[in-house]
Amino acid sequence: MAEAVNVENEREGGGGKYVITAVSVVGCGKTTLFVALNQLFNWGHIQNDDMKKPKPANLIEGAIRLLGSEDVVMVDRNNHMNRERAQLLEGMSVYNGDLRYICFNFWPKSTTSKELLRIVHPRVLERTRGNRHPTIKGTTSPAQLSAIIGGFIKRFQPVNTKRNPDKLFDLVIDLDVAMQTADKLHLVLTSMHEKYPSLVPNIPSTERIQNAVSFATNMTS
């Protein structure tokens, strides 16, 4: 596991903590990426799909509790609509301390809706066949699955850092949904290293990245 420095004391600009979240649709690979980061740095990770009662308040309360012991918390939810991002950012604002928000933007609109559906549909279908998807049942037909994913895509509201709530993100990292997980992981690590050198002081080796991805893939597939 990569050694993380004490970001509370060594971060440029003083204290504070980090909240990492995603803007994505089902099947983009956000959970795999978060699990890989947790494997590398042991950052806090809370997943909406794992909540017994997946309500926004429960997720936010859980994230705030994690911040009591963690310098970095990854809040794992799709947040594909503006209101979901607003819920999260406004809810986290009750935390008594400086927070910096990092967004992993899985669909920066470089991919068409049709191409996105083509990429994510087989990923989700594979997980549902083994009843391994946390929210979509294995009895869901391919046509029903297409409708579910299509609903996410239709409702999707792109990140716009010129307006609320997205302008509250301190860093937005655009990802190509077609990229391999290892490439996504390397990209987010490089971006965070450049922006926050005390948070990611060194980029882990290719071997460690691959090992983290293998672990995460086994956990989420």
Encode pLDDT of 121-145 as tens digits: 888 887 654 444 455 555 567 788 8
Q: What is the CATH number of the domain that holds 84?
A: 3.40.50.300
Does residue 44 belong to any structural domain of this protein? yes
Does residue 92 belong to any structural domain of this protein? yes
Query: Where in the sequence is the domain holding 89, given as residue range(s)?
Result: 17-110+158-220
pLDDT digits (tens, 9 = 90+) for 158-193: 999 999 999 999 999 999 999 999 999 999 999 999
- The b-or-e profile of 53-74 (16+ CB within 10 A means b, else e) is eeebeebbebbbebbeebbbbb
pLDDT digits (tens, 9 = 90+) for 3-56: 343 444 344 434 589 999 999 999 999 999 999 999 999 999 999 876 656 577
Q: How many domains does the chain have?
A: 1
